[in-house]
Structure 1
């Protein structure tokens, strides 16, 4: 069963390891699609209800056995650059000529990149020591600026991939439940959050766009498809 979803293969990894899970091939049937949707909705709810994406992903990694060592680490992508999204200066409360810096960090569990965070921040609202640490280390932004006691305001949370078509819950149960041997194509990014970080005085310091990869679905154990 296919719903016309142009996509990329599941595993978005760093270097292969004999001690890490291999590529999980989800089968293209209603059972797999319902399971994938349930997992994405569960992860989305957890991310929205907890302040730390790193700790949420670490819990997710351990619960679903994504790696032997369920520990999530941040890896800054040096030299990365991206223009400000439309409307970002208004969201950050800055003028046309105010400086904005860009930082990209990947959150990695084992050999799997689970998310990529694009971060545009206002250096004039941070201390010199904070700016130096952001420029020279891999330390996550939130940890660097934690002394500001910032809060996070979520602007949007969007599923980038819909495993099931609109209105599927009102349709009869398909006859192909868990009977396909065809691999399910899943796009490279499946979920995206957009948020602003603000000081207690409501001064925006950062706009962050977090794109979660298909590796959040790279569960170690898959149930085999039943032959027709």
Structure 2
């Protein structure tokens, strides 16, 4: 009897240990992003959110700080901090109108920087940036060359302003003219398929002396919606 009791006790201990181990392993698994359902309510919510983000980006000079606020408001990561992850590779060709927009001659040196702006595990934006190093301080140029600090944070001491050249919604969750349609698209019951890029901004940054010093093309990804839709979180 004692042997049976001792064996039963060990079985309980081992069972408890296995349960704790399984729970620990599950706790370490990365959380999968929520799935948006393909229905009218989710499409309306996605469109409203993209338009809200677009308006926020248009009304503030720093896309980095805007994305940090967005990340925090929608709990995309434990800490709402944007990290610029440098993307190595060859420089992209300079857009044909860039030198005129930056008000520089054909011989003025330019530098190119491509980064992914991420909050936690989510890459929210991919940015191509051509800038005039002679219009930045030596310390700024050094930090841009040697670190992953977002461009907007590096040049923040310039108290720059942003002039948007274009802002384009690359994907609309609802078809054009949906507001005049008799009914919204029928629900499919499947996941809502989103393209990689959903929004694109082109802008020029100006310093306090009104000199342009940077041309940036920002492509925002569907990860800006990597949170549970409100319609799916309501009881």
Smaller-chain TM-score range? 0.7 to 0.9
Question: Quick one: structure 1 residues 80 and 115, their matched pair in 2 at CA, closer, same or farther if it must change by over 3 Å?
Answer: farther
Q: Report the CA distance between 1:207 and its aligned residue.
A: 0.4
Q: Does 1:68 align with 2:78?
A: yes
Match of 1:9 in 2: none
Corresponding residue SS for 2:130: strand
The superposition leaves residues 119-170 of structure 1 with CA deviations (integer Å, 9 ceiling, x where unpaired) of 1001122233322221111122223223333221111111111111111100
Contact 2:83 2:148 in 1 (8 A): no
Which portions of structure 1, spanning 4 or more consecutive aligned residues, are displaced by more than 3 angstroms?
Answer: 17-21, 220-224
59-68 or 112-121: which moved more? 59-68
Match of 1:11 in 2: none
Match of 2:111 in 1: 101
Q: Does 1:117 align with 2:109?
A: no
1:38 maps to which of 48, 62, 73: 48
The superposition leaves residues 97-139 of structure 1 with CA deviations (integer Å, 9 ceiling, x where unpaired) of 3211101122111111011111100112223332222111112
TM-score between both structures, scaled by the size of structure 2? 0.79
Match of 1:6 in 2: none
**1: CA distance between counterparts of 2:112 and 2:185?**
49
Q: Does 1:201 align with 2:209?
A: yes
Contact 1:66 1:220 in 2 (8 A): no
The superposition leaves residues 40-74 of structure 1 with CA deviations (integer Å, 9 ceiling, x where unpaired) of 00111111122222222222222222223333222
Contact 1:80 1:103 in 2 (8 A): no
Q: Does 1:186 align with 2:194?
A: yes
Count residues with an aligned counterpart. Answer: 206
Match of 1:7 in 2: none
Match of 2:13 in 1: none
Question: Quick one: structure 1 residues 51 and 20, their matched pair in 2 at CA, closer, same or farther if it must change by over 3 Å?
Answer: farther
Q: Report the CA distance between 1:76 and its aligned residue.
A: 2.2
User: Greater relative contact order (Cα 8 A, min sep 6): structure 1 or 2?
Assistant: 1
1:147 maps to which of 133, 150, 157: 157
Any stretches of 5+ residues in structure 1 without a counterpart? Answer: 1-16
Any stretches of 5+ residues in structure 2 without a counterpart? Answer: 1-26
Corresponding residue SS for 1:37: helix
Larger Rg: 2
Q: Does 1:158 align with 2:168?
A: yes
Question: Quick one: structure 1 residues 145 and 57, their matched pair in 2 at CA, closer, same or farther if it must change by over 3 Å?
Answer: closer
Contact 2:63 2:152 in 1 (8 A): no
167-176 or 109-118: which moved more? 167-176
